[in-house]
């Protein structure tokens, strides 16, 4: 299983690049010229997202530095302990939608302190795999097309994250009941 | 919504840092907030500039896929699902092909490929959007699928656990698959329910202002 997964993820990119180029060539597309034509947009797109990313990352960075995540943790702790939610996972769950690198660091800490085969580590790993850095994705995706009124996208994204967090805890409790 | 969230984050960071510094009688927290503001702005630029290469690569590949008819073919094969998720997008529109390719890249955990393809999808969806500053239903649905994480294998988490000496680092593949399916289902249900709420509805009179 693990070997198969590894092979797929290693082969995917070269196969996609070469496969798509070969199919296009068979359909008589001038592949080199068209590739360059498409690639021209890359620079523009990357530059266009800068202001949106600066706005989002600065606000998140300041909030984190001021200890905002810790404050949130204390605030929601009573509710979650009532729901039988493991307190160890709370900082990770709150950090996850805000920052990919910071949540990865917290995950690394959890694995180190509780052991890589512990229930908490498995819950945390499952959580990392079933949630996203919602605010980053929203800033970059909407920023690239200059959409500023995001309507229900943030709410839906955060609900999906919350579902992923709760599902991770329940699924792991059920699957790894022996731990 | 982003306006409120953004302002809340800023005001809360100032208030929290001020409270901490006043109770402790020093200036440490405020210094940390200052540093974070400067550093984060630099990180944002580094991140964006770092995207230029992969962005160009995948937009080039995407163009080949489009010209070669692959994007359209993908959209046609998955039409039943896509027309339910994105009823406003006409069948065979390039946006659908880009959405499918982005989702496929996300499923395989190819983050480098997923972002450029996702941005391409947003660009195509924006062409169909009657109000350019406001997110369309299709955009929100696409974002919900994206942020709910559709990754089949949490490769980074597995690698980290393996590096920490786990006996069974792949144990989380099954649990993550179940959890991510649940989060995606909730994300889609949420987005489809929320788009009907009056708060989030695009006011029709204003939409008709543009000819």
3-class DSSP state for residue B26? coil
Q: Is the pLDDT of residue A112 over 50?
A: yes
pLDDT (0 to 100) of residue A6 = 67
Alpha helix segments (H runs only) across chain A: 2-26, 31-48, 50-65, 68-82, 90-95, 100-114, 119-130, 134-144, 153-175
CA distance B90 to B150: 24
3-class DSSP state for residue A142? helix
pLDDT (0 to 100) of residue B209 = 43
ipTM rounded to 2 decimals: 0.86
Residue B151 confidence class, pLDDT cut points 50, 70, 90? confident
Q: Which of A55, A63, A149 sits opposite B135 (nearest CB)?
A: A149
Q: Is the pLDDT of residue B62 over 50?
A: yes
- Judge: B190–A155 Cβ closer than 8 Å, yes or no: yes
Query: In the structure encoding, which two tokens stand for residue A155, read together?
Result: 């709410």
Nearest chain A residue to B154, by CA: A129
Q: Render pLDDT for A33-90 as a digit per residue (tens, 0 to 9).
A: 999 999 998 898 889 889 999 999 999 999 999 999 999 999 998 988 888 899 999 9
The half-sphere exposure of A142 on its side-chain side, counting CA atoms within 13 A, is: 32
- Judge: B179–A144 Cβ closer than 8 Å, yes or no: no
3-class DSSP state for residue B112? helix
Closest of A141, A128, A140 to residue A172, by C-alpha: A128
Angle, alpha carbons B119-A38-A48 (nearest 5°):
40
CA distance B195 to A7: 40
pLDDT (0 to 100) of residue A9 = 67
pLDDT (0 to 100) of residue B207 = 46
The half-sphere exposure of B70 on its side-chain side, counting CA atoms within 13 A, is: 23
Q: Is the pLDDT of residue B199 over 70?
A: yes
Mean pLDDT of B12-31: 94
CA distance A58 to B36: 7
Q: What percent of chain A has pLDDT over 90?
A: 73
Averaged pLDDT score across all residues of chain A: 91
- Judge: A37–B175 Cβ closer than 8 Å, yes or no: no
CA distance B184 to A81: 25
Q: What percent of chain A has pLDDT over 70?
A: 96
CA distance B28 to B140: 40
**Domain map (residue ranges) of chain A:** 1-41, 49-175
3-class DSSP state for residue B196? coil
Picking from B33, B110, B157, B188 by the largest number of A CB atoms within 10 A of its own CB, the best residue to mutate is B157
Q: Is the pLDDT of residue A157 over 80?
A: yes
* Total CB pairs under 8 A between chain A and B: 380
Q: Which of A21, A152, A171 sits opposite B191 (nearest CB)?
A: A152
Element (H, E) at B198: none
CA distance A134 to B140: 12
Q: CA dist B106 to A64, B28, B119, B147, B173, Å?
A: 27, 40, 13, 10, 15
CA distance B201 to B193: 11
Q: Is the pLDDT of residue B211 over 50?
A: no
Q: Render pLDDT for A90-109 as a digit per residue (tens, 0 to 9).
A: 999 999 999 988 999 999 99
Inter-residue contact B62 to B90 (CB < 8 Å): no
């Amino acid at each position: 299983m693990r070997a198969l997964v590894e092979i797929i993820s290693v082969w995917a990119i070269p196969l996609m690049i070469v496969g798509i180029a070969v199919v296009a060539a068979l359909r008589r597309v001038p592949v080199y010229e068209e590739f360059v034509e498409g690639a021209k947009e890359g620079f523009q797109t990357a530059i266009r997202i800068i202001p949106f990313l600066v706005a989002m990352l600065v606000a998140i960075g300041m909030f984190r530095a001021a200890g905002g995540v810790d404050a949130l943790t204390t605030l929601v702790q009573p509710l979650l302990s009532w729901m039988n939610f493991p307190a160890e996972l709370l900082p990770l769950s709150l950090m996850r939608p805000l920052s990919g690198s910071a949540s990865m660091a917290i995950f690394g800490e959890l694995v180190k302190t509780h052991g890589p085969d512990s229930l908490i580590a498995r819950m945390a790993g499952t959580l990392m795999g079933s949630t996203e850095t919602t605010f980053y994705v929203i800033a970059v995706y909407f920023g690239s097309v200059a959409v500023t009124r995001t309507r229900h996208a943030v709410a839906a994204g955060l609900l999906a994250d919350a579902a992923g967090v709760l599902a991770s805890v329940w699924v792991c409790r059920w699957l790894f009941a022996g731990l | 919504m982003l306006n409120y969230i953004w302002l809340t984050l800023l005001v809360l960071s100032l208030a929290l840092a001020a409270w901490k510094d006043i109770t402790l009688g020093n200036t440490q927290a405020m210094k940390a907030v200052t540093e974070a503001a400067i550093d984060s702005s630099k990180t944002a630029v580094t991140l964006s500039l770092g995207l230029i290469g992969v962005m160009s690569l995948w937009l080039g590949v995407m163009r080949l896929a489009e010209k070669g008819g692959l994007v359209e073919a993908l959209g046609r094969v998955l039409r039943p699902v896509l027309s339910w998720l994105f009823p406003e997008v006409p069948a065979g529109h390039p946006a659908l092909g880009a959405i499918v390719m982005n989702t496929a890249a996300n499923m395989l955990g190819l983050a480098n490929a997923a972002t450029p393809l996702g941005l391409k999808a947003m660009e195509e969806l924006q062409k169909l959007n009657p109000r350019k500053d406001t997110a369309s239903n299709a955009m929100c649905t696409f974002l919900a699928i994206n942020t709910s994480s559709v990754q089949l294998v949490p490769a980074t988490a597995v690698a980290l656990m393996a590096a920490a000496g786990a006996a069974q680092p792949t144990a989380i593949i099954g649990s993550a698959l179940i959890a991510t399916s649940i989060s995606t289902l909730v994300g889609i249900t949420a987005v489809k329910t929320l788009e009907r709420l009056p708060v989030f509805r695009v006011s029709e009179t204003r939409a008709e202002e543009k000819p």
